[in-house]
Amino acid sequence: MQDSSHASIRDVFSLPVIVAALGYFVDIYDLVLFSIVRVPSLKAFGLQGQELIDYGVYLLNMQMIGMLVGGVLWGWLGDVKGRLKIMFGSILIYSLANIANGFAGSLEAYAVLRFIAGVGLAGELGAGITLVSEILHTKIRGYGTMLVASIGVTGAILANAVATHYDWRTAFFIGGALGLVLLVARFKVSESGMFQKIESKAAVSKGNLLALFTSRERFFRYLNSILIGVPIWFVVGVLITFSPEFATALGIKGTISAGNAVMFCYLGLVFGDLSSGLLSQVLQSRKKAVLVFLVLNIISIAVYFMQRGATPTAFYWVSFALGFSGGYWAIFVTVAAEQFGTNLRATVATTVPNLVRGMVVPITMLFQFTRGQFGLEGGAIIVGVICMVAAFVSLAALEETFHKDLDYFEEFM
């Protein structure tokens, strides 16, 4: 437990951490699968040209809206009913939704199932990070969340490999099956001791989402926790998802596969999450690690738009660099979890990453607008600048939480 006087690095490889990491692995597989199979799946429904972008944005937004709804639902349940219960419920819903997605016979059914899958996917990361943060000692919890994220994002690599060798329907079937297999493994994981301590305290308000908005200080703590992660999903939701279109605009000498761009981006995320986690442990600071990676993010985005006439190989390596610089995802979610007490921690840790993912909706809408006014590249650059400025301002306002004791609860007036 976190309050133990002895912290061993072996605890990082305990069953709850491994199960949380594998859960996030399946989550990422399912999360990015649509971006990988967007073109072939929409072509199977008879769409071509501009329709592939327009309907692609629509279906991606349906999935992200589902994640916004699920983030609120699972976050509340996580603080009221426990971290493990949402880990069971969320994986069951998105596994069944993805299996059903393989049978989708219309765009309407496709959209509904992307929404339902999004609701299920919303609970995975927040519950895992909350559980790991609460069971590991303060000195090593950064390693635990680093492991969860690093193993998790490799799910994108598997998704690309599966989509390369099988058709898009089979890829959805495989994702659903992986989730159901992992569901069985979760029966051996124990609940967080911190949650068990406050579970019986009737006087402690748990999962009170409104409390995040009734205090100015608490609201800005919450908002700033969200905004520092927005650049990551600008990169994934715009630059990587629509990489074939950007490659054409940039004059890349060859065909670019969205699946390969996603794979290289998430491969970069693996190394980025490992590096940012280790850097935060070395610096003994979450904020400094995030700052370093935000700067790297700016550099990699600039390189992305400067690669005119490059080869596909060079384009994919830039995608890798974008992923690496966005590899502060684990640190970002950990910072959010560490900002709040046990009775609000699951709510925050679950809603924050999903609100960031859900920010893809206004980001892509703004991108669609600016693209019409300033062109594909100009529109993306404007949106990227807005995201980066918001992240830097928010990071400056947040509390450093590296040494923070998490065994406390929020008091509401």
Task: Give the confidence band of 395 by pLDDT, cuts at 50, 70, 90.
Answer: very high
| Every domain of the chain and the residues it spans | 11-189+208-397
Give the residue among 115, 38, 133, 50 at the shortest CA–CA distance from 376. 50
Per the listing, tokens 């690599």 go with: 157
Cβ-based burial of 357 (10 A; exposed 0-12, middle 13-18, buried ≥19): buried
Q: Per the structure block, which two tokens stand in for 287?
A: 């904020």
pLDDT, greater one: 104 or 12: 104
* pLDDT for residue 356: 86
Contact indicator for 235, 265 with CB cutoff of 8 Å: yes
Res. 105: pLDDT tops 80 = yes
| 281 phi, psi to nearest 5 deg | -70, -40
Confidence band, pLDDT 50/70/90 cuts, at residue 7: low
The winner for highest mean pLDDT among 74-78, 157-161, 357-361 is 157-161
Residue 179 token pair: 């989730």
| Class of domain 11-189+208-397 (CATH, top level) | mainly alpha
For tokens 């496709």, name the residue: 110
More confident residue, 385 or 333: 385
CA distance 144 to 129: 8
Tens digit of each residue's pLDDT (9 = 90 or more) over 184-240: 877 777 666 666 666 666 556 666 778 888 889 889 999 999 999 999 989 988 899
Residue 226 Cα distances to 41, 83, 104, 171, 323, angstroms: 32, 21, 33, 31, 19
DSSP string, 63-125: HHHHHHHHHHHHHHHHHHT-HHHHHHHHHHHHHHHHHHHTT--SHHHHHHHHHHHHHHHTTHH
- Return all residues near 330 (Cβ < 8 A) that are at least 6 apart: 129, 145, 146, 148, 149, 150, 273, 276, 277
pLDDT reported for residue 3: 44
Kindly report the number of other CB atoms within 10 A of residue 25's CB atom.
22
Number of Cβ atoms within 10 Å of the Cβ of 102: 17
